[in-house]
Amino acid sequence: MEKETRRYAGALRKEHIGQNVLLKGWVQKRRDLGGLIFIDLRDKSGTVQIVFNPTVSEEALAIAESVRSEYVVEVKGQVVKRDDATVNEAIETGAIEVFVSNLEVVNKSKNPPFPIQNETDVAEDLRLKYRYLDLRRSSLQETFKLRHRTTQVIRNFLNNNEFLEMETPILTKSTPEGARDYLVPSRVHAGEFYALPQSPQLFKQLIMVSGFEKYYQIARCFRDEDLRADRQPEFTQIDIETSFMSSDEIMEMTESMMQKVMAEVKEVELPLPLPRIKYQEAMERYGSDKPDTRFGMELIHLSDSMKDSSFKVFQSAVNSGGKVALLNAKNQAANYSRKDIDKLTDFVKVYGAKGLAWLKVEGDELKGPISKFLSEEEIEAISSKAEVSDGDLLLFVADKSSVVYDSLGALRLKLGKEMKVIDEGKFNFLWVTDWPLLEYDEDAGRYHAAHHPFTMPMDEDAAKLSTDPANVRAKAYDLVLNGYELGGGSLRIYKKEQQDKMFEILGFTPEQAQEQFGFLLEALEYGAPPHGGIALGLDRIIMLLAGRSNLRDTILFPKTASASDPLTDAPSEVAKNQLDELSIQLKNKND
Amino acid sequence: MEKETRRYAGALRKEHIGQNVLLKGWVQKRRDLGGLIFIDLRDKSGTVQIVFNPTVSEEALAIAESVRSEYVVEVKGQVVKRDDATVNEAIETGAIEVFVSNLEVVNKSKNPPFPIQNETDVAEDLRLKYRYLDLRRSSLQETFKLRHRTTQVIRNFLNNNEFLEMETPILTKSTPEGARDYLVPSRVHAGEFYALPQSPQLFKQLIMVSGFEKYYQIARCFRDEDLRADRQPEFTQIDIETSFMSSDEIMEMTESMMQKVMAEVKEVELPLPLPRIKYQEAMERYGSDKPDTRFGMELIHLSDSMKDSSFKVFQSAVNSGGKVALLNAKNQAANYSRKDIDKLTDFVKVYGAKGLAWLKVEGDELKGPISKFLSEEEIEAISSKAEVSDGDLLLFVADKSSVVYDSLGALRLKLGKEMKVIDEGKFNFLWVTDWPLLEYDEDAGRYHAAHHPFTMPMDEDAAKLSTDPANVRAKAYDLVLNGYELGGGSLRIYKKEQQDKMFEILGFTPEQAQEQFGFLLEALEYGAPPHGGIALGLDRIIMLLAGRSNLRDTILFPKTASASDPLTDAPSEVAKNQLDELSIQLKNKND
């Protein structure tokens, strides 16, 4: 008898029939039947059925009787053809099974707190506490294989394009501009702190000043923010920076990279160039700066027609600088009762809308509570702009522009899902360009950088920086997929005078700018090249490629919504001497 | 005239003569000569000479007059053959130059605080403050290209061997066993802390329990320790873990990986299998657990011959359980004066030696202050064991074993360098195996794990865990190159009972073990496979491959010996409200 070679369970096929094999893995399931024992043996490659038969080995059969789910075993045996009647077409190894001559129990297992199977309704907290068991499920195994492949495709693409992979520090300086930093007390420098980087932004700019010209990093980033379903305290971004390239060149390079990913990971051909849409147009058409273009149902603008409306809500919205717009939910009048529409109204209120007006199209009439306030011309304008037909449901928001965009943008996505008009098989990438450089923060009474303070204004708008900052556009671009922002980038300011000016507009005194960003300002004085780049959220890309809706499924050991890890119990209390060494103490409650 | 294409300066060759090119880069040097201006233009690929000639463009010449070192410029021009007399064989572009028709100053530069040139004697602190300028030096550019290539070779190797690259958390739980943790206060969970990982050890073991079977990560690790020349607060390791593989298989896989690195990065053929040496033998022959085998001069042991010596120092060392050993510095008697030997004595005292005895070989006599205490038989034994010949210098240490090893091991390296017997072109890899599992910590009065508490004892020694822990060997292996530990690994304990036992021997109460490592102990109960791995220090590998002696040269933005960054000024003070949010405060001085 020839010597057994280690084989992967999931890789056994008809062509292995007759071979002696060595398998190592986990007991997925055991069935006793007619004096035989059948086990689904699982390893990283999949599962295969192994059979214990007294005519092959009584000893192995006897041991198999003691075996339970999730035991680790090594088996030797022969691959045999299954009877035609027992062939299982549903699994790739279903044409064969392994007759076991030798079984060794390598390690036992307690009965797991939940079964290791793909479909699960087990509470996420329990699954996170036993993450090492949850990860045995094949859907998660596949997700992390996909994550691995995606990362390698991206690396290969960038390596082939002369990029150098470089590592920037995790222990860095706190720059309170932006999100909240995670801080790390210094032991050597009592009273001082490092911060974990929110992104390698400043370091990658310094790398450009260093002359490396093409940098990338699959970089860990940290933000101490209140978590949402699609946020994690630490996340991974594909971080890219180049010198001497234009926005167009960076976008073209990035979309070629995504084309490669789609081809090699999803076997989907992504036509290039990707569509581009300007920020302002995206807001007007989709009510979103990251539009999901897998379906239509765009916003229909009525402001021009409602300036003089006798319907006060519409008229005053327009005349106080706001907007009136509607969505036409085609053929949905019968599907949405008054009660349903009340729910939609509650939904848009979350986005600041004061209400949701509606009309239903019956024949060629528009019927609903607001119809009586609308003139014939107005009804005509609505009908024609919204291209109504019998059975349509029209939903209106009249408010200041940002509320109209946000509420109708969100409502559009909600309706799209409810109406099942979104093709889930599509991967609609697009670029959003021509972003505003600045956002006015009413609470703070000053401008914030819409992206970050290092973003370059468009040349033709630069002169407006002092006179009309709200209307300065940035050399910035976001990549969007199916309504998710995958990431964004920009060209950066590379002249000190312009960076000084930018800090001034953002309300920094020269001393504050120097204190926080002095090293960057100084670097710009020593021959900084024109440079720019992009950062894409790897976790989110994986989530979309894997067809998942939860970012935690794409991170090996994620944190919960309260930023804790039920598995290791992090964060946790530490010993007082650890704090003493760091010259810190817990804050007195009554301070 | 054809359109110019962007070219890299350092890539221009004779075959480009006649082409119109566009170059973008930095002014390395400017020389004015006979009405012409010559500039060495530098980009990431190297440098090329560009020439401003009034007959080509008076305008470009005029602009060139304003140009200074480190200005960023774009030039258009034509590649021309240099006169035979001006060909510069020393640089790869030396056969050609570029006649400039158009020059644009893209960005200016102040006069840099130090010249951008390879050879430098500028203080390191200044270079770190202007790291972005220091990194422009071609030797550092080359180091980071080498780092990039090495990392990719390693990734390709592991990818081709079915490993998955996976990311483990940076915000983890503090486990005070081992080095000091960097802590991160939690905002959400007041009074609690995350720790930055000293290594992904526990996570990679959990990945094995998850059934992924082959994991790797180029992982950032953190240790808050007092720094030496070859330590950094954050460092990068090639972190590998596998299931179902033996120590031999892991070592073979690792050495194949290093063979690939040496072939592709250094064009050096590394013969396999690598030599292996047991820990005990390494100590006895080289006085080191990471021997530099590029030269001989091994320790020569005399304990057997000195048991009854009338030289008290030797005799009592042996009879109190210690050792007498010597190094024979061949033919060095004339090169080391008494004063020189006094210096060597001071050197070994650092390693705990009380003194350094010596003899010089003159003809067939051994002469020196201790000769009068030694009997003829003892002299004979020394001569024969040390294979002395005329002119040799013999250097003795008699002390407890650990002091003999440490002091002579260090002295051997020092002499090797001083005697110039080390072949700097060699890459001597070897494995050190059969490590002790435990080390007795006299201060703490208990055993420490020599590697970490998860290392598996050798099967044949496991029974001695309770009775004779000092002599239990581990299934552990270190990879050594030219006297540096590149890293090490082991098989891990995968049965809960054995891990419980291990914690008990290390002085943990069951409660303490549960508190710190409960999640691992629990994971071992749910079908943990046999597993093991290795972790190699990437920074150190790069340091050795790049022929450098300073770890900071291999890290893009390193920290100083006091763990600070002179560039960004990290760590630094933070705002009180940042600490308030984290529920911590600086410790009162008088607490």
What is the β-pairing status of strands A300-301 and A323-329? antiparallel
For residue A183, count other CB atoms closer than 10 A to its CB: 24
User: What are B305-339's pLDDT values in tens digits?
Assistant: 999 998 999 999 999 999 999 999 999 999 999 99
Residue type at A554 in one-letter notation = T
Q: Is residue B223 marked as binding?
A: yes
CA B406 – CA B287 distance, rounded (Å):
6
Angle at CA A91, nearest 5°, toward A85 and A93? 80
Which of B557, B564, B569, B585 should one mutate to test binding to chain A, selecting the residue with the greatest count of A CBs within 10 A?
A: B557
B540 is known to lie in a ligand binding site = yes
Separation between Cα atoms, residue A155 and residue A159, nearest integer Å? 6
What chain A residue is nearest to B128 in terms of C-alpha separation? A519
Which pair of tokens denotes residue B78?
Answer: 């034509």
d(CA A578, CA A585): 10
Asked if B464 and B473 touch (Cβ cutoff 8 Å), the reply is no
Sequential DSSP letters for B531-572: EEEEEEEHHHHHHHHTT-S-GGGGSSS---TTS-BTTTTBSB
DSSP B86: G
Provide mean pLDDT across the span A291-319.
95
Interface contact A174-B572, CB threshold 8 A: yes
**Record: contact B167-A236, CB cut-off 8 A:** yes
Q: Which uninterrupted H or E stretch holds A204?
A: helix A201-209
Per-residue pLDDT tens over the stretch A95-119: 999 999 999 999 999 999 999 988 8
The pLDDT tens digits for B261-305 are 999 999 999 999 999 999 999 999 999 999 999 999 999 999 999
d(CA A121, CA A112) in angstroms, rounded, equals 15
Q: How far is B107 from chain A (nearest CA, A)?
A: 6
Complex confidence, ipTM: 0.95
- DSSP string spanning B348-360? HHTTT-S--EEEE
Q: How many CB pairs under 8 A join A and B?
A: 351
| Contact at CB, A72 and B528, closer than 8 angstroms | yes
Contacts with B579 from chain A: Cβ below 8 Å: 183, 587
Cα B270 to Cα B268: distance, rounded to the nearest angstrom: 6
Nearest CB partner across the interface for A164, out of B148, B495, B528: B148
What percentage of chain B has pLDDT greater than the value 70? 98
CB contact under 8 Å between A151 and B145, yes or no, is: no
Q: What is the pLDDT of residue A278?
A: 98
Residue of chain A with shortest Cα separation from B217: A148
Domains and CATH numbers, chain A: 9-107 (2.40.50.140), 295-422 (3.30.1360.30)
Inspect the interface and report whether the beta carbons of B170 and A234 lie closer than 8 Å: yes
pLDDT at A2: 54
The predicted structure's pLDDT at residue B185:
97
Q: With an 8 Å Cβ cutoff, are A193 and B591 in contact? A: no
Q: In chain A, pLDDT over 90 holds for what percent of residues?
A: 92
Q: Which of A350, A478, A322, A367 is nearest to A414 (CA)?
A: A350
Average pLDDT, chain B: 95
Is there a contact between A573 and B191 if contact means CB atoms under 8 Å apart? yes
* Distance (Å, whole) CA B95 – CA B98: 11
The residue-averaged pLDDT of A14-35 equals 96
What is the structure's pLDDT at B395?
98
- Which residues make Cβ contacts (< 8 Å) with residue B356, sequence separation at least 6? B341, B344, B345, B348, B395, B396, B397, B407, B411
Minimal CA separation from B566 to chain A, in Å = 10
User: Rounded to a whole number, what is the distance in Å from the CA of B394 to chain A's nearest CA?
Assistant: 43
Give me the pLDDT at residue B165, please: 98
Under an 8 A CB cutoff, do A556 and B151 touch? no
Residue B548 in marked binding region: no
Residue B271: predicted pLDDT: 97
Residues belonging to the binding site of A for ATP are 223-225, 232, 485, 537-540
pLDDT tens, residue by residue, B349-402: 999 999 999 999 999 899 999 999 999 999 999 999 999 999 999 999 999 999
Distance from CA of B396 to the nearest CA of A (A): 40
- Mean model confidence pLDDT for chain A: 95
Question: Does residue B225 have a known ligand-binding role?
Answer: yes
Distance CA B232, CA B222 (A): 8
> Do the chains contact at B563 and A202, CB–CB below 8 Å?
no
Instruction: Give residue for tokens 């339970």.
Output: A68
Average pLDDT over residues A513-525: 96
* Contact indicator for A582, A186 with CB cutoff of 8 Å: yes
Q: How far is A528 from chain B (nearest CA, A)?
A: 7
CB B567 within 8 A of CB B557: yes
Of A24, A147, A183, the CB nearest to B244: A24
CB contact under 8 A, A174 and B574: yes
Distance CA A408, CA A400 (A): 12
Q: What pLDDT, in 10s, does the model give residues A70-89?
A: 999 999 999 999 999 999 99
Distance (Å, whole) CA A135 – CA A113: 14
Distance from CA of A321 to the nearest CA of B (A): 38
Indicate yes or no: CB of A565 within 8 angstroms of CB of B107. Answer: no
Q: Which residues of B touch A147 (CB under 8 A)?
A: 166
pLDDT, position B589: 60
The mean per-residue pLDDT over the stretch B235-247 comes to 98
- The larger pLDDT score, comparing residue B384 to residue B2, is at B384
How much is the average pLDDT of A133-137?
97
How many Å apart are CA A364 and CA B337, to the nearest integer? 113
B88, amino acid identity = N
Cis peptide bond upstream of A571, omega within 30: yes
Mutate to test the interface with B, among A556, A569, A576, A585 (most CBs of B within 10 A): A556
Q: Are B445 and B435 within 8 A, CB to CB?
A: no
Comparing CA positions, the residue from A107, A106, A51, A52 lying closest to residue A82 is A51
> Is-contact A11 A5, C-beta < 8 A?
no
Q: What burial class does residue A338 get, using C-beta atoms within 10 Å of its C-beta: 0-12 exposed, 13-18 middle, 19+ buried?
A: exposed
pLDDT computed for residue B443 by the predictor: 85
Q: In B, which residues are within 8 Å of A167 by CB distance?
A: 220, 236, 555-556
Residue A270: Cβ-neighbour burial (10 angstroms; 0-12, 13-18, 19+): middle
Q: Which residues of A touch B179 (CB under 8 A)?
A: none
Asked if B207 contacts B241 with a C-beta cutoff of 8 angstroms, the reply is yes
Spatial CA neighbour of B558 closest among B577, B542, B575, B539:
B539
B136's CB contacts (< 8 A; 6+ apart) are A210, A211, B26, B42, B116
Considering only residues B228 and A528, tell me which one the structure prediction assigns the higher pLDDT. Answer: A528
| Closest residue in B to A73 (Cα–Cα) | B529
Give the C-alpha separation, B23 to A521, whole Å: 26
| Contact state of A152 with B165 under an 8 Å Cβ cutoff | yes
Q: How sure is the predictor about B148, in pLDDT bands with cuts at 50, 70 and 90? A: very high
Does position B1 have pLDDT exceeding 60, yes or no? Answer: no
Contacts 24+ apart (CB under 8 A), A520-523: A520/A202, A520/A205, A520/A206, A520/A454, A521/A496, A523/A205, A523/A206, A523/A209, A523/B132
| Strands of the sheet with B214-222, listed across from one edge | B164-165, B214-222, B234-243, B531-537, B484-491, B476-481, B429-433, B276-278
More confident residue, B174 or B170: B170
In this structure, of B171-185, B405-419, B523-537, the range with the lowest mean pLDDT score is B171-185
- Across the range B489-504, mean pLDDT stands at 97
Q: Which residues of A touch B584 (CB under 8 A)?
A: 185, 584-587
pLDDT-derived band at B444 (thresholds 50, 70, 90) equals confident
pLDDT at A230 over 90: no
Average of pLDDT values for B249-256?
A: 98
Sign of the dihedral through C-alpha B291, B294, B299, B300: positive
Q: Which of B194, B574, B584 sits opposite A570 (nearest CB)?
A: B194
Q: Cα separations (Å) of A551 from A358, A400, A543, A569?
A: 35, 33, 6, 20
Look at residue B229 in the predicted model and tell me its pLDDT. 62
Determine, for residues A180 and B187 on separate chains, whether the beta-carbon distance falls below 8 Å. yes
8-state DSSP, B314: H
Contact B171 A182 (CB under 8 A): yes
pLDDT band at B2, cuts 50/70/90? low
Three-state SS string across B52-76, please?
Answer: ECCCCCHHHHHHHCCCCCCCEEEEE
Task: Using an 8 Å CB-CB cutoff, list chain B residues near A203.
Answer: 556-557
- State residue A352's pLDDT score: 96
Q: DSSP code of B333?
A: G
pLDDT at residue number A129? 97
Residue A2 exposure: Cα atoms within 13 Å on the Cβ side:
9
A470, A401 Cβ separation under 8 angstroms: no
Q: List, for residues A446-462, the tens digit of each pLDDT value.
A: 899 999 999 999 999 98
Closest residue in B to A186 (Cα) is B571
Per-residue model confidence (pLDDT) at position B3: 67
CB contact under 8 A, A585 and B588: yes
What angle do helix axes B496-505 and B510-523 make, rounded to 10 degrees?
150
Residue B485 marked as a ligand binder: yes
| pLDDT at site A227 | 72
